[in-house]
Amino acid sequence: MAFVPGMEKSAYLEIAREILSQPTAPFHEEAVRSAIRGLLEGLPGVSLEQDAFGNLIALYQGGGKTAEFAFAAHMDHPAYVGRKFLGGVPESYRKAKPPTEKFGPFRMWALPAFQMRAGRIYSRACDDLIGCACIVAMIRELSKKRAKCVAYGLFTRAEEVGFVGAIQLAKKRVIPAETTIVSLETSSKKGGPVKMGAGVIVRVGDRTSVFDSAATARLLDVAKAAEIPHQRALMQGGTCEATAYALYGYRTAAMCVALGNYHNCGPSNRIAPEYVSESDAVAMAELCVALSRSRNHDPLAALRRRLEKRMKEHRALF
């Protein structure tokens, strides 16, 4: 199955380039949010709403009343805000005072915003702008195809300092309780038995929690049926927004792509660009589209039938 039907890889890369080129920091995601708005505003079936905290909620409505899935990614990345560093970068990387670039009230590492080399995307902030780009690509494709489904895209603030935007959304019950929230991330390739370039990772859990079994099985079923390159792993390199939403009562699942130089932490305590496989990012966008368009079903039904059959075969021994 080709990447999102009717869309070339180059189209995804243009979306990624536009979003990754924007500067960002916790509580200073304005440029990223504006770029996302520019890519989605005016599309058929797409509505946009900004909540009081500054999260951006996109809704594609092409048929049906309730979205089965909401896809979430955060718009911030570790950076200096004033004199304070916000985000998880060890002091050993910061003590040499690597060069930074100033953007008004915050500073990012002086690294390339977007580069393509040997099938990989390099950037000062793949985490989690790659996830944002995948959601934007999904919504644009659903709108282009006039898909008969409903799906949310959630673009949140200040994830790097404790899931602040996601918690604001969860507490306000902006998303219907029956909607499954799927967290999209770039996750350190050191956090699980995964291979960069082998496909999107269906993430069964993170360092803090495990996600809903049936929802995870649904992601795997859809990926297999659509022939999307994928892996399955417990990624323990960090905690993602799926855990935060689950704490407030939502059913959650997660997908990610393997990330190199997590939080710009390169070899030998040097600050370096983050990087992901282009094909992995494309596969994650593709899985978002396929999941949105999939029919609701019980992914555990086949397993139950198989176990019931085994039980009947041994009934004489009960």
pLDDT tens sequence across 173-185: 989 999 999 999 9
Per-residue pLDDT of 23-47, as tens digits, reads 999 999 999 999 999 999 999 999 9
Mean pLDDT of 185-189: 93
Element (H, E) at 44: none
pLDDT of res. 227: 93
For strands 180-188 and 69-74, give the pairing: parallel
Instruction: Inform me whether the pLDDT recorded for 158 exceeds 50.
Output: yes
CA distance 207 to 199: 21
Taking residue 14's Cβ as centre, other Cβ atoms within 10 Å add up to: 14
Record the tokens describing residue 262, joined without a space: 């997590």
What is the number of domains present in the chain?
1
Q: Is 3 inside a domain boundary?
A: no
- CATH number, domain at 188? 3.40.630.10
Provide the pLDDT confidence category of residue 317 given band limits of 50, 70 and 90: confident
* Tens digit of each residue's pLDDT (9 = 90 or more) over 109-124: 999 999 999 999 999 9
On whether the pTM is more than 0.85, the answer is yes
Mean pLDDT, to the nearest integer, of 94-106?
96
pLDDT of residue 7: 54
Of the pLDDT bands very low, low, confident and very high (cuts 50, 70, 90), residue 254 is very high
Domain region containing 124: 9-317
For residue 1, is it within any domain?
no
**Encoded tokens for 206:** 């993170």
Averaged confidence pLDDT in the chain = 93
Which pLDDT score is estimated for 2?
41
Q: Residue 4 falls within a domain, yes or no?
A: no
Relative to beta strand 56-61, strand 79-81 is unpaired
In a domain, 283, yes or no: yes
